Amino acid sequence: MAILVLEDGRTFHGETYGAEGETYGEAVFNTGMTGYQETLTDPSYHRQVVVMTAPHIGNTGVNDEDQESRRIWVAGYVVRDPARRASNWRSRRSLDDELRAQGVVGISGIDTRALTRHLRERGAMRCGISTTETDPDALLGRVRQQPEMKGADLAGEVTAMQPYVVPAIGEKRFTVAAVDLGIKGMTPALMAQRGIEVHVLPATATIADIEAVDPDGVFLSNGPGDPATADVTVLQDVLERGIPYFGICFGNQLFGRALGFGTYKLVYGHRGINQPVMDRTTGKVEVTAHNHGFAVDAPLDAATETPYGTATVSHICLNDDVVEGLELRSADGTLKAFSVQYHPEAAAGPHDAAYLFDRFMDLMGDNT
């Protein structure tokens, strides 16, 4: 037996799934039909309780290849109908066992459609899951004492403490300093495939740490928490020096803030693997993977002059016109820096946006 209580008091009764105990986090929903292992191990989900809208979860078990980081980060996991047995040639253990082994409290057997509709209407909100508490009011009291996602500074809790290098595959073309704010493993992997030697640096990296690797480009990763809490002076130093810059998700929000834009919290966010985005620089529409609860507040149809160049919104989400990408050009129109709010590393997700890694190569001076 387990209960899930939302901060507005709505309560769901279900079964224990994963570890026993009690957990709290921001309740958010993910609409991906596949890729639960990548979702669970995405550090951007730190402090979030993830509700899967796909009703049947765990079918392919857990393998040793698809994790995006060293552990599961979600604070809690909500599914409707867990697979009774895992079946896949790569599967090593069941998802239930993996959640239990990593101490992740979950709940199954609840109406995830009703829960998702509630979150769509009322917005992402704090929640608690408990396998030990039987009184929803008592749990509700504790839920309301938890910190909100707005104002949460979390990158320091997920970043690598020590720098490390992901070597280029084949001939080395470029060196990139990648600041780990909660980086997913597929990002350096896709860079390495293109001949980039990736120096992954802790979130606390200074401009001196970045310059010490003599990078051809700088990258800021995805990551958990409210972008309004992060310090953007290091990124502003990067832009001032004219070092080519590429950012993903949190790295897009920080790029926005470095350029002088604000960020705000979306009502329920974008989390899934089939979100339509238009690249306004080419007019092409791509189907993309998302995981963001905040967004950049920038004018959609006007260029903005910044101390570093002219900034424009390069990508928008076709569902709701949310800013999905930014670019910075010099007075002669040359691209200097860019970022996207979504996930070209596509783990999980479609590969439509992989061209952005090639765009980064071009930005660093690739002429092939």
Ligand X SMILES: NC(=O)CC[C@H](N)C(=O)O
Query: Which positions touch ligand X (CB under 6 A)?
Result: 44, 222-225, 227, 249-250, 291-294
Nearer to ligand X, 36 or 294 (CB): 294
**Residues 108, 92: Cα–Cα separation, whole Å:** 22
- 225: annotated binding-site residue? yes
CA nearest neighbour of 37 among 50, 24, 19, 21: 50
CB of 226 to ligand X, least distance (A): 7
Whole-angstrom distance, CA of residue 182 vs CA of residue 46: 9
- Assign 269 to helix, strand or coil: strand
Which CB atom, from 93 or from 150, has the smaller least distance to ligand X? 150
Within 10 angstroms of residue 319's Cβ, the number of other Cβ atoms is 11
- Closest to 227 in 3D by CA, of 266, 179, 270, 263: 263
Q: How far apart are CA 108 and CA 1, in angstroms?
A: 9
119 and 28 in contact (C-beta within 8 Å)? yes
Ligand-binding site membership of 294 (annotated)? yes
The reply to whether 253 sits in an annotated binding site is: yes
Judged by beta carbon, residue 23 or residue 44, the one nearer ligand X is: 44
Nearest-approach distance from CB 27 to ligand X, in angstroms: 13
Closer to ligand X at the Cβ: 100 or 271? Answer: 271
Query: Is residue 30 annotated as involved in ligand binding?
Result: no
Short-list 78, 87, 113, CA closest to 5: 78
Nearer to ligand X, 139 or 258 (CB): 258
Least distance (Å) between residue 367 CB and ligand X? 31
How far from the centroid of its chain's Cα atoms is residue 242's Cα? 26
The reply, when asked if residue 250 is annotated as ligand binding, is yes
Closer residue to ligand X in complex, CB, 130/339: 339
Q: Is 214 left (phi over 0), alpha (psi -120 to 50) or beta?
A: left
Least distance to ligand X from the beta carbon of 223, Å? 5
74/106 Cα distance (integer angstroms): 10
DSSP assignment letter at 41: T
> Does the annotation list 262 as a binding residue?
no
CA distances in angstroms from 292 to 67, 211, 253, listed in the order given:
19, 30, 10
44 is in an annotated binding site: yes
Helix (H) or strand (E) holding 40: helix 36-40
Q: How far is the CB of 56 from ligand X (least distance, A)?
A: 25
Tokens representing 299? 């004018």
Closer by beta carbon to ligand X, 105 or else 183: 183
Give min distance, CB of 89 to ligand X, in A: 30
Q: Which residues are catalytic?
A: 249, 343, 345
Q: Name every residue whose Cβ is closer than 8 Å to that of residue 341 and which is 6 or more positions away in sequence.
A: 249, 252, 253, 290, 292, 295, 296, 315, 317, 322, 323, 324, 325
Among candidate residues 261, 265, 243, the one with its CA nearest the CA of residue 252: 261
Give min distance, CB of 275 to ligand X, in A.
13
Binding-site positions: 44, 223, 225, 250, 253, 291, 293-294
Residues of the binding site for L-glutamine: 44, 223, 225, 250, 253, 291, 293-294
